Amino acid sequence: MTPLRGALRIARRELRAYLVAPWAYGVAVTFLVLTGTIFFVVADGSREASLRFWFPNLAFVLIVTAPIVTSRLVAEEWRSRHLDILLARPISPAGLVVGKWLAAVGFFGLLLAPTLVYAVFLAIWGAPDWPPIVASYVGALLLVALFAAVGTMASALTPTAVAAGLGGFAVLVVAQLANNVPAVHGMSFQPHLESFARGAPGLEDAVYFVTATLAPLIVAAAWQTVRRRGASPLRGGRLRAAAVPATVLAATLALNLVPVPASARVDFTASGRFTLSKASKEVLRNVKQRATITAFAPEGTAQARDAEVLLAQFRRANSNIHTRVLDFAKAQGEALRLDAQDDGEVAVEIGDRKEVVAPLLEQTVTSALQRLARPKPQTLCGLAGDGERELDSELPQGLQLARLAAERNGVATRRLDLTVATQVPADCTILALVAPTAALLPNEVQLLNDYMAADGKMMILSEPGGPNLDAITTRWGLRFLPGVVFDPERAAAGDPTSLLVNDFPTESPVSKGVDGAALVTAGGVTTSASADSGLTVSRVMQSSAHSWLELNPAASPPTYEADKGDRAGPVVLAGAADRSEVKAGGETRLSGGGASIGRTRLLAFTDADWASNAFLDRRSNARLFANGLNWLAGEEDLVAVGGVDPDLRRLELTPAQRRLMGIGAIGAVPAAVLFVGAGVWLRRRRR
């Protein structure tokens, strides 16, 4: 007799019994009400078009329902003495166990099918990342197989269905709680299910589910063999009968304690957030000092385990990098030392320098490490004295949020009043001239020109109608134009001077990752060629072809009039000038030698409001500002930290959509199954 003889026959018989049993539909309705409620609560709370928070909670529902379904599989057959009749047929004990298990897996697989409606809701009202959702369902099926195997084992080892249900429930609860007990952490299914839910399952997760599913089935099959044949009459026969299941359980536990390389995983996320790119690995090789990465996340949560998975990649890439995950509420001392403000932030330390970034992503941490590893720190000096907007101002037109964005990207800030200064301090690596309202004094112009001639970097944000800045900009191929840009087709809230800009005509590092920018009352700038062969002038962003630069913005209604000096669109809204040359001395991007490069860079915007407190969080303005700082610093290969998780697929619901989702998930789906169950019951009654 083959080891699994009769398994498919038993599976078909059992699954058919499930499909015609009214109690099975009661279990199905309960299962779907619970899963639908959890889906609604999780989706409504996180407002994310993802199921990564729903799948780990699926284990709770299965812990309750799986023992109920599997408790009768073998115990009921044994109690009714039908088991002997089954085994008298050409069905092996292993075939009986596997057949019963396959039927339970098939039943729960059918229960999972209606939950695909949840993914439909996300697709209608959001833009989910599909590969992680598919991986999550694979993980859910593996979890079902594991729970069904444990339930089958409990049913095979106990004399009654009640005892089997209680035994299976106890084992599953212990397996879940083991996640919080370091000594038996390897027994828990929770971290492995979360690996599939996050869309980055590893080899260790596959090994766990396969071995943890096979072990209970082998134990159950071995016990049925003992039941059928009886223990050996020889001395020690019972010990020999128990040797196989004991060996299997020991081998399963030992195999899951073997460390598996952190890189042995597949990352299905759209941004590859749990694997390091080749570029990141190259950056990490330049970290020669001890570096410590501290992520803050609530202890025992999926966020904490996500952080551990990603940070393991950094440890593997460079032995100088040390990582840890702390609970912000429990590590207030470390949070205070590192200047962390809440869970979700990451503190990166190299030597006596540190930086706090968010969110925890490969790009943000890698960029922080690269900034801290560079030999020359960056300081943004905000110019003052001529009515400029202040970096510390909390007013709507102020730049406090811009200052915080700079500091979040590892750039220190300070105020510099050129009206009383005799020189630009050496630590001012970047200057910011933001919307001066008075003309610059001759000595200020001279200081700025001397600074720029000595490899200076400056960002100018000019408002239409502001003072003439030609004495500073024209030598670098840039010149601000009078007038205001009107663009009715790309206007925000019906205001033709509030521009939604998404035209970035060149592959500029300044616009990298910028989907769009929101400008208010912008002017124009010219970008001209220069006889200076080392100077490159480029357009960073521009208005649409249907716009124009209006010289008389007070006209009502404003119309394009070429004969009165209006310029047809597209109008350049921001320009960049770069003059680079190899020098014996000058800035170097990273330690380790190589050619030194002297750079002069000027970044000019025709609007200052987009970087103000009132507008910096609009569109991709914050990323545009951070990219500009990185480019001016000569570090355009750094990724600007914009504070937004690219894997965060927002689910913005109106009250009507929210109500419809709740009715569908909690009411309509279970009701449909209840309707089918009622039809099956009526059909059986008529027979």
Complete DSSP assignment for 201-215: -BHHHHHHHHHHHHH
Bridge partners, residue 349, by sequence? 292, 354
Question: Phi then psi for 439, rounded to 5 degrees?
Answer: -65, 140
Give the per-residue pLDDT at 449. 93
Domain boundaries, the chain: 7-267+654-686, 278-357, 376-632
Confidence (pTM): 0.61
* Peptide linkage before 496 cis (omega within 30 of 0): no
Domain at 278-357, CATH from 3.40.30.10, 3.40.50.300, 3.20.20.60, 3.20.20.70 = 3.40.30.10
Strands 548-550 and 567-568: antiparallel
Give the per-residue pLDDT at 81. 56
- Taking the CA atoms of the chain, what radius of gyration do you get in angstroms? 33
Give the per-residue pLDDT at 602. 93
Contacts of 307 (CB under 8 A, 6+ apart): 295, 297, 325, 360
Residue 82, SS3 per DSSP = helix
Q: Are 112 and 22 in contact (CB under 8 A)?
A: no
Strands 535-542 and 484-486: unpaired
Residue 30, SS3 per DSSP = helix
Give the per-residue pLDDT at 305. 84
* Peptide linkage before 557 cis (omega within 30 of 0): yes
The two tokens of residue 27 are 């279990």
Give the per-residue pLDDT at 591. 45
Fold of 376-632: Rossmann fold (3.40.50)
**Whole-number Cα distances in Å, 335 to 59, 345, 354, 357, 457:** 33, 10, 12, 13, 34
Determine the Cα–Cα distance for residues 66 and 73; give it in Å rounded to an integer: 11
Encoded amino acid at 464, one letter? P
Determine the Cα–Cα distance for residues 606 and 601; give it in Å rounded to an integer: 17
Give the per-residue pLDDT at 235. 46
Mean pLDDT by 10 residues, the chain (687 residues): 73 87 91 94 86 88 92 72 57 83 94 94 89 92 95 88 90 87 78 87 88 89 70 48 66 66 70 75 80 92 85 89 94 92 92 85 82 78 92 92 81 90 90 93 93 92 91 91 86 76 84 85 80 78 88 79 84 89 54 63 92 87 88 67 56 84 93 90 76
The two tokens of residue 81 are 């003495």
